Amino acid sequence: MNEEGNKPGQSPEEETMDTRSTAVTRRQFLIGAGAGLVVGAAATAGLQALQPAKPVEQAKPAPPVQQPAQPAPATAIVEPVSGAKLVKLNVNGLDYSLAIEPQTTLIEVLKRDLGLTGTKLGCNGSMCSACTVLVDGVAQNSCSLLAIRESGKKIVTVEGLEQGGKLHPVQEAFWTQMGYQCGFCTPGQIMRAVELLNKTKNPTDAQIMAHMSGNMCKCGAYPNILKAVQAAAKQMA
C-alpha cells in the first residue's frame, strides 16, 4: 500500500491508476476494492488505516448509499430484501453505512468493502476460526455471519485493537512469545484471546485451551500461542 496513506478528503482518483493500463507501481496498491462504501461523518477522524478507493468493481450493482441523517430504525422487513440493503456497522470505532446484498457475509464486507484485510478466510465453513472478530464483544466467525443481520452491531477486528498507537497486550504477547509462525491464523487467535481476557482475569491453562480450541493453527504454534495468552493474561490482570 501507499506508505503515506491517503488523507481523508483527498480525492481517491489522485491515487488511482489509469485502469486501461496494468502498469502498476507499488504505491498504487489498494487495500480493498472499496465497492459501495460510504463513510459517515463520525468516521472521518483517524481514517489513516483506510483508503477509500474509487469503486473499481462496477459489477456489483449496489450504488453507494448516503448515510441518512437519523439512524435508521430497526424496522422489521416483512417484504423480502432481494437487492442491496442499507446496513449500519460500527467497525473499529467508525460508523459505516453500506449497501449490502443479503447473501454477503460479514468477512466479505470487512475485506472487500472496508479494506480491512487483517481478518483471514481459512475455510469459509466455521471449522478453522481464522476469521474470528468481535461482534458486540463476542468472538464470532465472520465467515458465518450474514452482514445484513449484524446491522447496528459493534465489530472489532485485529486492526481495531491498537489504542493510541499502543499495541493491545495480547498483540504484544503474540509478538514477544512468537505466538505464531506463518501468521495467517494469528488475527483470529488474537481476537479469540482478547475476548477471553476481557471476560476472565487470570484464566487457567485449561480455560485458555478450551477457549482457544476452535482456532486451528497448521504450523502447530499452539505451545507458543498458549504462552502468549498466559503472558497477556498477566499483563491484563
Partner 1 sequence: MAREKLLGPLGESHARVDAPDKVTGATRYPGDIALPGQLWMKTLYAHRAHARIKRLDVARAEQTEGVVKVFTARDVPINEFGLIAFDAPVLAGDVVRWIGEKVALVVAETEQQARQALDLIEVEYEDLPALTDPREAMKVGAPVIHPHYANNVLKHVPIRKGDVERGFAESDVIVEGAYYTPMQEHAYLQPEAGLAYLDEEGRVTVQVAGQWTHEDQHQIAHALGLPDERVRVIYPAIGGAFGGREDMSVQIILALAVWRLDQMGIHRPVKTIWSREESILGHHKRHQMWIRAKWGAKRDGRLLAAEVEVIADAGPYAYTSTKVLGNAAVTCTGPYFWPHARVDAYAVVTNNIPAGAFRGFGAPQGHFAAEQQMNKLAKRLGMDPVELRLKNVLREGALTTTQTPLPGGVVALPQVVQVCARAAGWKATSTERHVADENLPQGSTSTRQPLATGYGFACAFKNIGFSFGFPEGASAAIELHGGTRVERAVLKIAGAEVGQGGHTVFMQMAAEALGLPLAQIELVASDTATSGDFGSASASRSTFFAGNAIRGTAAAALQKWRDEERPAIAIYRYQPPATENFDAATGRARPNIAYGYVAQVVEVEVDTETGQIRLKRVWCADDVGKAINPQLIEGQIEGGVVQALGYAITENFVTRDGHVLTPYFSNYLIPGVLDVPERIESLILEFPDSEGPWGARGMAEMPFIPLAPAITAAVHDATGVWFDELPLTPWKVWERLHERSYTPHS
Partner 2 sequence: MHKFAYYAPQTVKEAARILSKNGPNSKLLAGGTDLLVQIKEHVKGPAPDYVVSVKNIRELHDVKFSARAGLTIGAGATISETLATKGVQEHFPAIADGTAIIGSLQIQNIATIGGNLCNAAPSADSAPPLIAYGATALIAGPRATRTVALEDFFTGPGKTVLKPGELLVSIHVPTPPARSGCQYVRHTPRAQMDIAMVGVASFITLDRKGRVADARIVLGAVAPTPIRARQAEDSLRGQEPTADALRAAGDIAAREESPIGDVRGSAGYRRYMTSVLVQRTAQAALKQAMR
Give the binding site for partner 2 (CB under 8 A).
74, 76-82, 85, 101-105, 124-127, 129, 132, 138-141, 144-146, 148-149, 192, 210-211, 213-216
Distance CA 10, CA 167 (A): 28
Site string for partner 1, 139-178 (x = CB under 8 A): ------------------xxx-xx----x---xx-xxx-x
6, 67, 119, 140: residue in contact with partner 1 (rule CB under 8 A): 119
Please list, in sequence order, all residues whose beta carbon lies within 8 angstroms of the beta carbon of residue 234, skipping any fewer than 6 positions away: none
* Pairing, β 132-135 against β 154-156: antiparallel
73, 125, 164, 165: residue in contact with partner 1 (rule CB under 8 A): 125
Report if residue 47 touches partner 1, rule: CB under 8 A. Answer: no
217, 231, 232, 233: residue in contact with partner 1 (rule CB under 8 A): 217
Dihedral, CA atoms, 48, 13, 28, 58, nearest 10 degrees? 100
* CB nearer to partner 1: pick between 97 and 119: 119
Reading phi first (left if > 0) and then psi (alpha if -120 to 50, else beta), residue 164 is in: left
Q: From the CB of 73, what's the least distance to partner 1, in Å?
A: 31
Where do we find the cell 471449522? 127
